[in-house]
Structure formats: structure tokens, C-alpha cells
């Protein structure tokens, strides 16, 4: 990203940033740098103080075979967080291959709330941080200087940190802790807009840390009702519902 000095100065003044991108980049070569990554990736060395990153209080799971690619979750996310209907602002993203073969024609990209989050470790201003109360990884837009280090640090593609091109800061899933345009309490123990809105019930919330790979967050959320509706519940989609799950219980004889 290239910006001129005038843009940096006006942006910093507008958003009340502590320092500009140019100041940060220049400081990387000197003493007293804002942040230095610690070895092992489990802590952040910040101004000579090492602090551990707490475990997140929750995680989103998806069932890619159950998803109908309707993007209702994306719309719910962007409306709850921004009050807009622009899917570019959604913190969960749905990919669909129209030439693909079911059930491998869609993929969902949601933040993994990593136990050792590279995005948090990479942030020089603590804008990308773990919430003190819940451990949820989230971004404080007022502290973000737009360096995009968190976006580049995410080990998954596409990055689960996104760039808000209108407000000029990074953003990521916060499990709906901060949803100014939604009147529900979010976060662990609360509601998540994508979970509540999904008509296929292809997204769920868990407090148990999944296996740390993409497949660890992609689980089978199909159930007996899914089979009774005529859909296969096996991952390959090849077993007839009547075989995998017996039919619904018959009413008792009068």
C-alpha cells in the first residue's frame, strides 16, 4: 500500500491515531520498536513486557456440505457490524464454484480464533488483540494504523483479517461482541448473527477448541431431520437418507 505524507497526516488527525504508518515503518529500524515477535509464536514482546495470549472463549464451526451458498450469513454479518448491505464488509466469506461437483462446490472462510494468533502477534499497536473478558480475537479500529500486518500474518487463504476500504482499518470476526447495528448480546454466551441467520443451520458455535487445521472447523452438522427431508448426511453424499437414517417415527396406534 502506498500513501503520501499528506494522506497519512490527515488520516491520523481524522481518526486520532497515535502515530502514522510512516512513523511506524521508520521505527522498525530503531530502538524501542512497538512490537517484536517472540519465539514460538505464543507470546508478544511489547515494550519489554511479555504477555501470554488467552484462549478464545468460542469458535465458529461450519458444514461446507450443508451450506446452500445463499450468503445470508454474510449479509447478516455486514448489517450487524456496519449497518450496510455490502457483502465486502462481511467477516465470514462464502466461495462457490458453479462448475464444481456437490458436495465439493462450496467453501466457507471464517476466522479460526487461533490459540496462537499470528494476527495478534503481528499487530504493532495492540489494535488486533484478545478481548480481556472473553479472549476473543478482535480489532479496535481506533488503534489500527492500516499497516495490514495482521492481514498478511494470517496463515489461511484468504486471510481471515480483512481490510475495510471505506473506514481504512483492518477487521475480523469478533463473534459479534461489537455489533452496533444489532440488538442482541454477542460473544461467547451470546448470539452470533451468522449462526442465527443461516437458513440451512450450516454454522454453529462451540467453546471447545477445534483441531488446528481447516478440516477441524468443517464438521458434519447434518442430522436426522436433514435425512428425513430427503438429503444425505454422509460426507460423500452417496448414501440414500433412508439407508443412513431410518424414517421418522410413526405415530402410535390409537
Q: What is the pLDDT of residue 254?
A: 61
CB 146 within 8 A of CB 167: no
C-alpha distances in Å from residue 2, one per residue of 21, 30, 121, 192: 10, 22, 23, 36
What residues contact 22, with CB distance under 8 A and at least 6 apart?
Answer: 5, 8
User: How far from the centroid of its chain's Cα atoms is residue 1's Cα?
Assistant: 23
Q: What is the pLDDT of residue 82?
A: 97
CB neighbourhood size of 70 (10 A): 14
Q: Is the whole model's pTM more than 0.85, yes or no? A: no
Q: What is the pLDDT of residue 11?
A: 42
Say which DSSP state 148 is in.
-
CB 58 within 8 A of CB 51: no
Q: What is the pLDDT of residue 132?
A: 95
Residue segments in the chain with a per-residue pLDDT below the cut of 50:
1-50
Q: What is the pLDDT of residue 111?
A: 97
The CA dihedral of 176, 179, 182, 188, to the nearest 10 degrees, is 30
Q: What is the pLDDT of residue 34?
A: 34
Q: What is the pLDDT of residue 117?
A: 96
CB 58 within 8 A of CB 205: yes
Q: What is the pLDDT of residue 250?
A: 65
Cell numbers for 126: 495492540
Amino acid at each position: 500500500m502506498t500513501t503520501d505524507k499528506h494522506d497519512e497526516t490527515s488520516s491520523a488527525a481524522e481518526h486520532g491515531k497515535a502515530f502514522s504508518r510512516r512513523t511506524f515503518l521508520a521505527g522498525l529500524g530503531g530502538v524501542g520498536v512497538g512490537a517484536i515477535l517472540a519465539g514460538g509464536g505464543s507470546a508478544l514482546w511489547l515494550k519489554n513486557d511479555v504477555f501470554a495470549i488467552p484462549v478464545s472463549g468460542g469458535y465458529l464451526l461450519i458444514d461446507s456440505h450443508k451450506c446452500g451458498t445463499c450468503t445470508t450469513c454474510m449479509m447478516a454479518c455486514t448489517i450487524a457490524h456496519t449497518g450496510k448491505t455490502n457483502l465486502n464488509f462481511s467477516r465470514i466469506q462464502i466461495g462457490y464454484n458453479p462448475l464444481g461437483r456437490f458436495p465439493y462446490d462450496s467453501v466457507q472462510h471464517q476466522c479460526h480464533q487461533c490459540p496462537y494468533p499470528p494476527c495478534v502477534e503481528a499487530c504493532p499497536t495492540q489494535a488486533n488483540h484478545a478481548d480481556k473478558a472473553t479472549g476473543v480475537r478482535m480489532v479496535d479500529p481506533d488503534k489500527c494504523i492500516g499497516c495490514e500486518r495482521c492481514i498478511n500474518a494470517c496463515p489461511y487463504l484468504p486471510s481471515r483479517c480483512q481490510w475495510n476500504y471505506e473506514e481504512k482499518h483492518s477487521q475480523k470476526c469478533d463473534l459479534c461482541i461489537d455489533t452496533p447495528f444489532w440488538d442482541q448480546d454477542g460473544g461467547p454466551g451470546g448470539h452470533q448473527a451468522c449462526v442465527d441467520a443461516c437458513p440451512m443451520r450450516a454454522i454453529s458455535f462451540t467453546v471447545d477448541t477445534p483441531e488446528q487445521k481447516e478440516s477441524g472447523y468443517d464438521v458434519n452438522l447434518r442430522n436426522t431431520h436433514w435425512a428425513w427431508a430427503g438429503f444425505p448426511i454422509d460426507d460423500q453424499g452417496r448414501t440414500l437418507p433412508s439407508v443412513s437414517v431410518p424414517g421418522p417415527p410413526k405415530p402410535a396406534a390409537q
